[in-house]
Amino acid sequence: MKSKLYAGLARTTVAIAALVSMHGAGADPAPATTHPVPSIQDTETPAARDVRMKWFREARFGMFIHWGLYAIPAGSWKGEKITDNGAEWIMNQAEIPVADYKALAKQFNPTKFSARDMVGLAKEAGAKYIVFTAKHHEGFAMYDSKVDPFNIVAATPFKRDVLKELTEEAKRQDIKFGLYYSQVQDWTAPGGNEWPAIGNRPMKRRSSRWDPAQEGSFADYLHHKAIPQLKELLTQYGSYPDYLFFDTPAKEMTPELAGEFVKILNTHPKLIWDNRLGGGYPGDTETPEEHIPNQGFPGRDWEACMTMNDTWGYRAYAHNYKSSKELIRNLIDIASKGGNFLLNIGPKADGSIPREQVERMRAIGQWLKINGESIYATQATLFGDEAGAYDSKQLDEHGKPKFIPGEKWRSTTAANKVYIHLFQWPGKSFKLNHMKRQVTGAYLLADKDRKPLKLMQSGETVEVSLPARALDPVATVLVLTTQP
């Protein structure tokens, strides 16, 4: 994962995706494609797409898990703190030789790992799906791979397939389960792509590779490791995965090579996969990283992935945590724009989850227990510009006035309800302009008695009387019942 690396590619993918209808019944059929292997997105009907994407569109909140050998150094190598990137990038940033990095596997013995607790945390947080790193850029497989012995069963004293345990527990706890797989980058496999280092550290190397052991053919790496491992992941774990999160597409992933992945993906017609495969394939989801787009991606399914503390993998000295309040409001903001929030945890090398991360996930869950109705299975706001404004003094990348989100409230939409998430208490009443529905009632979601609130509607203006104080310091949800 790395937002700086991905930003330019994301803009390219959005441009490609704009050519393809991706959302909603009644949308135009997908145009003819020039992909060497047509993907399911190229050929399915809008109605079929709606069925396939249904659970994802209703979920709105998922839990990302970044866990691998990088949890052992935990952000430091030979006494030096490596801070230029996420802790999961330490092999790249510190230019660790392949043999030295692979030797970490002998130390990996996560005896505190509990699939029940890890999946249980997602459930307690109100997450509707999990995305787990089956293999990150380090090349280490967190499952029992017969393709390559550099994996948690064959190379460590732990000898357990944590992915198998997690998928079995996900089935027991009835939660969707997705996999992250680094298909392009692999720093320990000959021929695997190595992106140039990011940050301010002076690098010794001129090319992206720093160890002769990394030399080889990228196509050979795909054919001998990445593609065979993808086949394993799609066949070894029952009905899972429901979702695949690829990462860091590069120019080396040509349309023809990407098409070899697509042939496999097409044999799993219910599978959802993201826009990071490469080769010009837009996939199903936009994946902004560490930021929330001003207006989301109208017409596209999307998911904002984000860390709690500036690193995906565990870093022992990373204490810059976002507050629970900020994370809950991020979830609300993303849902108001029709997207999903994929929030990351980074377990320690022993398999335990840092206390700060557990606390924040539980706080989100407590808020969702009361207010989840205003998030799950909702649609984007009806008031696109009302919760913000365009600033003519700030221009976007297209030279147009930039949209600046408001700080006072957000809104989500259901068939016969409109939810107003009040970040700042407006006082005795809340006034809403441009309401094109007829409002039939109002109440606060946190009010157990659902006491009706006095309201007046004149044309498209609605005003609702409120109690003196907010019921929730993070976001009190005002529910407006409406006629569709």
Q: Which residues of 203-215 are buried (b: 16+ CB within 10 A; e: fewer)?
A: eeeeebbbbeebe
The whole-number pLDDT of residue 196 equals 73
Q: Kindly report the CATH number that applies to the domain delimited by 388-483.
A: 2.60.40.1180
CA gap 430, 465 in Å, rounded? 7
Residue 386 has pLDDT above 80, yes or no: no
SS3 content of the chain, % helix, strand, coil (to 5): 30, 20, 50
Q: Given this model, what pLDDT does residue 353 score?
A: 98
Spatial CA neighbour of 479 closest among 431, 405, 411: 411
- H helices within 180-311, ranges in order? 218-221, 227-235, 255-265
Looking at residue 391, its pLDDT comes to 62
Residue 60 token pair = 């709105």
E runs forming strands in 100-214: 129-135, 176-181
Quote the tokens at residue 406: 């408001």
- For 153-201, what is each residue's pLDDT tens digit? 999 999 999 999 999 999 999 999 999 999 999 999 999 998 876 665 5
Q: 3-374 falls under which CATH superfamily?
A: Glycosidases (3.20.20.80)
Whether 33 has a pLDDT exceeding 90, the answer reads no
The confidence score (pLDDT) of residue 204 equals 60
Q: Residue 419: which of 342, 478, 377, 370 has the closest Cα?
A: 478
According to DSSP, residue 466 is labeled -
According to CATH, where is 3.20.20.80 located in the chain? 3-374
Instruction: Encode pLDDT of 321-346 as tens digits.
Output: 999 999 999 999 999 999 999 999 99
What is the pLDDT averaged over residues 200-206?
57
Q: Is the pLDDT of residue 309 over 60?
A: yes
- Give ranges for CATH 2.60.40.1180 in the chain: 388-483
Mean pLDDT of 299-304: 97
Q: Is the whole model's pTM more than 0.95, yes or no?
A: no
420 token code pair: 């107003």
